[in-house]
């Protein structure tokens, strides 16, 4: 889309706000978005496809008599269709308000006018990405026992314009670069796969240099080959030291999701569940070593932004401080219910969806330990490494998460690799058991978080340090 076309889209958004107020809405906001994406899939040395996608449109929320209405438009070129959509959305909101018990009200926020450009240092061409992906593939397939290599990479350019009836006008431009690699080894009837997702908000600079994706490819290949020879673990409750990649998924599932204000209020129960610690603000839910925050201002994270999709300025918010539950993530609507301030937690997967409360970059904060010291203190236990598959109950209370590999710890030393490991526990018991966090800290890209009905797949960051606690460990196959 050319600059002139972007101007047209933004003009339509401005007009939509004014027309919504004239049509009976008490509040209106509009998100105009343009997305350009290109990428490829490479399997076992062969480029399976190269894709180019372009999308643009408007998402319009109206609030009338305490009820929401919504409409969206792809590739709008005139205001006539938009006008009819706004009328219908407002009519629907007014109809629903007649039977709605809990009317929507919005916490006050200051109107913002801003233009934000998050520039990629090295914006890639598709030829560069395919060439880099081919190099990764060659490295992976050079490993012993490797039977499959998969490389996926895509670059997305976003232009977002937000305007509301309270005077906010915000433009945000940014790039995302995401690379997904996997390596599968097989021997004697056993197959093992290792994988990684790299990248974030930016360009090729995120997967080169100190975050060299070629080195990651070699490590993936080596680990997959080692895992087919690894032994299985018998089930036991043990001391576990979790690395930052595994901690990222654990934080996402049993700390981030139950901190979303709409879940706490029970508004996601029919689809994605609730939160076991509803009503427990101010209570001790973990050890002093558990401190958690969500921070959209962490640069280059997939959850990095300056304003959320309600125009609220991004800010770090503490969720748990030394084991005490102190806050939930809030929208303007839920903040009014809780009697607190909105905290820049509202995002949508695109203009065609209503915004929801979503994590930005939720992490366990770093501690004061060296990770080597944390391991040396363990007489018997496991080092748990790299995220795989979660299984969590509706209240985020019972959890089990598989890891890509583990290593047995005996008398403070790392021993052989253990395969097919799943780690299990209950949230409060595990939180109380945490007794050490490392100074080492990492944020990992999460690209496939689902929430809502209709389902929205969202990108974000999660992470933390090495964390030591107690959980049940077993291998899912012997």
pLDDT single digits (tens) 394-403: 999 999 999 9
Rounded distance between C-alpha atoms, residue 468 and residue 251, angstroms: 14
Distance (Å, rounded) from C-alpha 361 to C-alpha 371?
22
205 plus 236 within the same structural domain: no
Measure the N-to-C terminal CA separation of the chain; round to a whole number of Å: 55
pLDDT at 36: 97
pLDDT at 270: 67
What is the chain's alpha carbon radius of gyration, rounded to the nearest angstrom? 24
Whether the CB-CB separation of 437 and 466 falls below 8 Å is answered with yes
89 plus 19 within the same structural domain: yes
142 three-state secondary structure = coil
Tokens 């008599």 identify what position?
A: 65
> Six-digit token pair at 193?
């796969």
Q: Does 329 share its domain with 349?
A: yes
Count of structural domains, the chain: 2
Q: What is the pLDDT of residue 68?
A: 98
* pLDDT, position 386: 98
- The residue from 206, 227, 248 where one domain ends is 227
Is the previous residue joined to 454 through a cis bond, with omega within 30 degrees of 0? yes
State the virtual CA torsion across 197, 202, 207, 211 in degrees, nearest 10. Answer: -100
Tens of pLDDT, residue by residue over 381-420, are 999 999 999 999 999 999 999 999 999 999 999 999 999 9
**Cα–Cα distance measured from residue 183 to residue 140, given in angstroms and rounded to the nearest whole number:** 7
Same domain, yes or no: 325 and 208: no
Please indicate, yes or no, whether residues 345 and 368 belong to a single structural domain of this protein: yes
> Do 324 and 285 share a structural domain?
yes
Classify residue 396 by burial, with Cβ atoms within 10 Å: 0-12, 13-18, 19+.
buried
pLDDT at position 1 is 46
Cα dihedral: 310, 311, 316, 319 (round 10): -20
Q: Are residues 200 and 253 in the same domain?
A: no
The single-letter DSSP state of residue 242 is E
Structure tokens at 390: 């979660």
What span, in angstroms and rounded, lies between the C-alpha atoms of 248 and 445? 9
What is the pLDDT averaged over residues 443-449? 97
For strand 413-419 and strand 398-410, is the pairing parallel, antiparallel, or unpaired?
antiparallel
Q: What is the pLDDT of residue 268?
A: 84
**Domain limits at 93?**
3-227
Tell me what pLDDT residue 269 has: 77
Bridge partners (DSSP) of residue 249 are none
- Distance between CA 151 and CA 207 in Å, rounded? 13
- 462 and 320: one domain? yes
Q: How far apart are CA 336 and CA 346, in angstroms?
A: 14
Rounded CA separation 286/407 (Å): 26
Tell me the backbone φ, ψ of residue 170, rounded to 5 degrees: -135, 130
Q: What is the dihedral of CA 417, 422, 426, 429, to 10 degrees?
A: -10
As a whole number of angstroms, the distance between CA 221 and CA 184 comes to 8
What pLDDT is attached to residue 90? Answer: 98
Tokens of 473: 């460990």
> By percentage, how much of the chain surpasses pLDDT 90?
96
Averaged pLDDT for residues 342-371: 98
Are the C-beta atoms of 382 and 375 separated by less than 8 Å?
no
Pick from 179, 208, 227: which residue ends a domain? Answer: 227
Assigned token pair, 427 = 């949230």
**Residues 215 and 277 reside in one and the same domain:** no
pLDDT of 6 reads 80
Same domain, 177 and 246: no
Say if residue 192 is in the same domain as residue 68.
Answer: yes
The total of other beta-carbon atoms located within 10 Å of residue 187's CB is 14
Pairwise CA distance, residues 302 & 446, whole Å: 7
For range 165-187, the mean pLDDT? 98
CATH number, domain containing residue 90? 3.30.2290.10
Closest-CA residue to 408 (of 375, 372, 370, 431):
375
Query: Alpha-carbon torsion 78, 79, 84, 89, what sign?
Result: positive
Considering only CA atoms, which of 312, 467, 301 is closest in space to residue 383?
Answer: 467
Smallest CA-to-CA distance from 123 within 205, 210, 41, 213 is with 205
* pLDDT over 60 (residue 447): yes
Q: What is the pLDDT of residue 127?
A: 97
Beta strands in 275-434 (DSSP E): 292-294, 317-321, 324-325, 346-347, 356-357, 361-364, 380-392, 398-410, 413-419, 421-426
Mean pLDDT of 122-140: 97
Question: Domain end: 197, 227, 257, which one?
Answer: 227
**What average pLDDT is seen over the chain?**
96
Whether residue 348 contacts residue 355, with contact meaning beta carbons closer than 8 Å, is answered with yes
Residues 129 and 222 in one domain: yes
3-state helix, strand, coil in the chain (%, to 5): 25, 40, 35
User: Which H or E run includes 474?
Assistant: strand 467-475
Paired with 175 in beta bridges are 157
For 80-121, write each residue's pLDDT tens digit: 999 999 999 999 999 999 999 999 999 999 999 999 999 899
């Amino acid at each position: 889309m050319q600059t002139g076309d972007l101007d047209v889209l933004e003009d339509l958004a401005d007009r939509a706000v004014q027309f919504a107020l004239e049509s009976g809405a008490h509040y209106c906001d509009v998100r105009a978005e343009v997305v350009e994406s290109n990428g490829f899939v490479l399997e076992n040395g062969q480029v399976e496809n190269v894709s180019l996608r372009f999308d643009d449109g408007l998402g319009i929320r109206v609030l009338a008599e305490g009820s929401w209405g919504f409409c969206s438009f792809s590739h709008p070129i005139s205001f006539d269709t938009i006008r009819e959509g706004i009328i219908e959305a407002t009519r629907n909101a007014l109809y629903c308000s007649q039977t709605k018990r809990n009317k929507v009200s919005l916490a006050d926020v200051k109107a913002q006018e801003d233009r934000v450009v998050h520039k990629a240092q090295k914006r890639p061409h598709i030829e560069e990405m395919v060439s880099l992906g081919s190099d990764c593939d060659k490295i992976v397939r050079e490993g012993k026992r490797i039977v499959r290599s998969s490389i996926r990479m895509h670059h997305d350019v976003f232009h977002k314009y937000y305007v509301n009836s309270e005077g906010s006008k915000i433009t945000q431009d940014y790039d995302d670069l995401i690379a997904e690699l996997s390596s599968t080894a097989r021997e004697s009837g056993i197959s093992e796969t290792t994988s990684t997702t790299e990248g974030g908000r930016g360009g090729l600079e995120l997967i080169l240099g100190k975050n060299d994706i070629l080195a990651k490819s070699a490590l993936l290949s080596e680990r997959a080959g080692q895992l087919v020879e690894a032994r299985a673990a018998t089930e036991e409750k043990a001391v576990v030291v979790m690395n930052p990649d595994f901690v990222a998924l654990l934080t996402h599932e049993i700390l981030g999701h139950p901190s979303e204000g709409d879940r706490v209020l029970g508004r996601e129960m029919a689809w994605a569940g609730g939160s076991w610690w509803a009503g427990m603000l101010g209570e001790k839910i973990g050890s002093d070593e558990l401190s958690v925050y969500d921070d959209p201002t962490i640069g280059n994270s997939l959850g990095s932004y300056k304003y959320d999709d309600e125009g609220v300025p991004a800010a770090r918010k503490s969720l748990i401080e030394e084991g005490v539950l102190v806050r939930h993530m809030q929208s303007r609507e839920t903040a009014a219910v809780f009697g607190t301030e909105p905290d820049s937690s509202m995002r949508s997967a695109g203009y065609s969806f209503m915004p929801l409360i979503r994590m930005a970059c939720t992490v366990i904060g770093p501690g004061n330990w060296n990770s080597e010291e944390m391991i040396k203190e363990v007489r018997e236990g496991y080092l748990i490494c790299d995220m795989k598959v979660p299984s969590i109950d509706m209240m985020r209370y019972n959890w089990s998460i598989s890891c890509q590999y583990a290593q047995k710890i005996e008398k403070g030393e790392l021993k052989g690799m253990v395969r097919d490991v799943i780690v299990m526990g209950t949230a409060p018991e595990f939180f109380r058991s945490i007794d050490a966090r490392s100074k080492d800290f990492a944020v990992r890209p999460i690209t496939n978080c689902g929430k809502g009905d209709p389902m929205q797949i969202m990108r974000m960051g999660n992470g933390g340090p090495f964390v030591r606690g107690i959980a049940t460990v077993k291998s899912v196959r012997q």
